[in-house]
Chain A
Amino acid sequence: MAVMTRVQAAKPVSRPRHLTEPAWVRWLLIGVALLFLALMLILPLATVFAEAFKNGADLYFAALKEKNALSAIRLTLLVAAIAVPLNLVFGIAAAWAITKFNFRGKNLLITLIDLPFSVSPVIAGLVFVLIFGSKGWFGPFLSERDIKIIFAVPGIVLTTVFVTFPFVARELIPLMQAQGTAEEEAAASLGAGGWRIFWKVTLPNIKWALLYGVILCNARAMGEFGAVSVVSGHIRGKTNTLPLQVEILYNEYNFSAAFACASLLVLLALVTLGVKSLVEWLQHRKQE
């Protein structure tokens, strides 16, 4: 599942000796952590690039320039470009509703927002097949009108929206809850209308969390495999996103092409982490 924790390097605190473990315990703990990290994270990451470039850089770039690969990249970007803004708007709306108003079923709504995290992605994909597929609820209705959702781009977008649904809302809700409504009330008492309050008071207060949520949402939208795999139909050059393309190439023993595409996704992950750290750093500096 997605990483939802925000861990920042804590400032080193000088602890008094009676609270500090002996040196060998310290080194043992640090050693275990580093070893595990190297084995489970760094080694696989390095392997991706090593495998991708094994047959030379020319082959690597050729694999990326291949027609189907390019189409997969385009589709991945398109899906993210639709899903992320949708969830951005939805996330703000949901967080706003939950933190600024009191209404019946509020707790139910909070639980529902988490649903995509708790449901297996495969099930999420299957749900859409059961609704929009040719044998699904709306299947006859859609086929009569010649609208294709499953095994087509709309289905991929729908499932991606579903899977990445909670990221923005989850980032905003705790922050907005902690901030309360005092600043909005102050703005209202000074004569500001709802629109101005949102743009001048609320949004500046949540912008870092919002950006953070969008980054995570984007990373997941581009990397989602399970749910998308169920609804996509794996039509080469048409409904394959990057992760699906990687799988197909791998299954065809076309390892260097598979790893070339995979390296793009890894690169995306690294860029995401970089941007995320930058955002955190900027936010931290702002607060100082």
Chain B
Amino acid sequence: MHIQVKDLNKSFGSEYAVQDVSFAIEEGSLIGLLGPSGGGKTTILRMLAGLEEPTSGEIYFHGKRVENLPPQKRGIGFVFQNYALFKHMTVFDNIAFGLAVQKKPRKEAKARVEELLELTGLSGLGGRYPHQLSGGQKQRVAFARAIAPEPQLLLLDEPFAAIDAKVRKELRTWLREMINRLKITTIFVTHDQEEAVEVADEIMVINKGSLEQKGTPWDIYKEPQTPFVAGFIGESNLVEDCSRLKGFERERAAKGMIRPEFIEIFLPGEGTIVSALEPGTVRSTYFRGTVWEVEVETGPHRLTAYRSLEQDPLEVGDEVRILIHRLYRFDDHSGVMVENANKVDPMPVYI
């Protein structure tokens, strides 16, 4: 379903939960609403579903205004954060609920539920009650229940929040495949950037009720348009004045944000582009499972960087040199990604 939202606002008293949010979503895409907790993501989702009334603004489904329609009339499926399964009904009856509302013939409904049980890997669990299921199974039931009446739009509120880490990973992949197969327009809310990046075709970053940026995960990572997005997506180091770093002298004095993966650490004897290297001292090292996380003190800064397990390990106190490949320079309003100028020095000095 093609969705368009114009100047959506929601205020509780004088507090704005959502402020002037506008966006359009293509049919069949999988969108992640990403942002910190309490940022207004869930409110946007609930307004799309009709569970919350906008203070002002317009919502269009397929060109038709819907903001005054009750949730029953919007043709949506909603997966709640805590699943909100009907406790007193079996899994089968839960999934069949929406079909019963549509007054589908019993036989047809039964076939549809069986098909969904099969699809969601719940075959044989139809007779169980929600409290007899694991978190992941409940999540699948909630999903099956939401898509049973064949909604045009599927809305998921923090679908993986209540599931433990390992199952969550499996479920993410499962959900992605499922939605690709069903080709249903989907919007999900998450505060976990890893989840958004992994699952969504497109991400909308929401902060303090406003839409900060909308784009593919790669675009948002590569070219954040606001300081908030730069800081929220991925890890980052903050430096007060980026023009004092080697390779960025030509920049005007402004704050800079540097991702750890954009910093390379060299021991003496490693590294080539001397003019781009900043001297520093290793202050601490942490083993992060797949990589070393190293804190390097250089001038007034303490920067976090990664070092591959393949390379020689670093010790605290080692004198090293670091290469900052690129950083995100920003002021109060906007920012831009800047490459290290000396990396492409026309006359590099080799040692």
Contact = CB atoms under 8 A, between A and B. Distances in A.
Interface string A179-195: 00011011111111100
Nearest to A207: B88
Contacts of B51: 185, 188-189
Number of chain A interface residues as a range: 10 to 19
Contact of B71 (A189, A196, A204, A205): A189
B88 A191 contact: no
Interface string A98-129: 00000000000000000000000000000000
A201 interface: yes
A211 to B, nearest CB: 14
B86 A183 contact: yes
Q: Name, among A186, A189, A200, A201, the residue most crowded by chain B CB atoms within 10 Å (CB to CB).
A: A189
Interface stretch (B73-81, B256-264, B274-282, B324-332): B73-81
B215 interface: no
A281 B87 CA distance: 19
Contacts of A185: 51, 71, 78, 80, 84
B224 interface: no
A282 to B, nearest CB: 13
B82 interface: yes
Contacts of A182: 80, 82, 84
Interface in B44-77: 49-51, 70-72, 76-77
A225 B82 CA distance: 48
A196 B103 CA distance: 12
Given A204-B88, A205-B88, A186 B149 contact: no
Nearest to A201: B86
B72 A186 contact: no
Contacts of B71: 185, 188-189
Contacts of A186: 78, 80, 84-86, 145
A201 B82 CA distance: 16
A196 B77 CA distance: 18
Contacts of B86: 183, 186-187, 200-201, 204
Nearest to B70: A188
Contacts of B136: none
A192 B76 contact: no
A196 B49 contact: no
Contacts of B221: none
A34 B211 CA distance: 67
A190 B87 contact: no
A98 B256 CA distance: 52
A188 B73 CA distance: 9
A200 B131 CA distance: 18
A189 B87 contact: no
Contacts of A183: 84-87
B188 to A, nearest CB: 15
Nearest to A287: B131
Interface string B81-97: 01011111000000001
A98 B80 CA distance: 23
A196 B102 CA distance: 12
Given A183-B86, A187-B97, A204-B88, A193 B80 contact: no
A200 B97 CA distance: 9
B98 interface: yes
Interface in B96-147: 97-98, 101-102, 131, 145-146
Contacts of B102: 191
B81 to A, nearest CB: 8
A220 B76 CA distance: 47
A182 B162 CA distance: 15
A182 B86 CA distance: 10
Given A183-B87, A196-B101, A189 B49 contact: yes
A205 B76 CA distance: 25
B87 A192 contact: no
B72 A193 contact: yes
Interface in B214-238: none
Interface string A213-228: 0000000000000000
B42 to A, nearest CB: 12
Interface in A143-186: 182-183, 185-186
Contacts of A193: 72
A208 to B, nearest CB: 10
A160 to B, nearest CB: 33
A193 B72 CA distance: 7
Contact of A191 (B49, B72, B84): B72
Contacts of A200: 86, 97
A236 B77 CA distance: 64
Interface in B304-337: none
B80 A191 contact: no
A187 B71 CA distance: 10
Given A185-B80, A193-B72, 18 more contacts: A182-B80, A183-B85, A183-B87, A186-B78, A186-B80, A186-B85, A186-B145, A187-B97, A188-B71, A189-B71, A189-B146, A190-B145, A190-B149, A191-B101, A191-B149, A192-B72, A201-B86, A204-B86
15 contacts: A182-B82, A183-B84, A183-B85, A185-B71, A186-B145, A187-B97, A188-B51, A188-B72, A189-B50, A190-B77, A190-B98, A191-B72, A192-B72, A193-B72, A200-B97
Interface of A: 182-183, 185-193, 196, 200-201, 204-205, 287
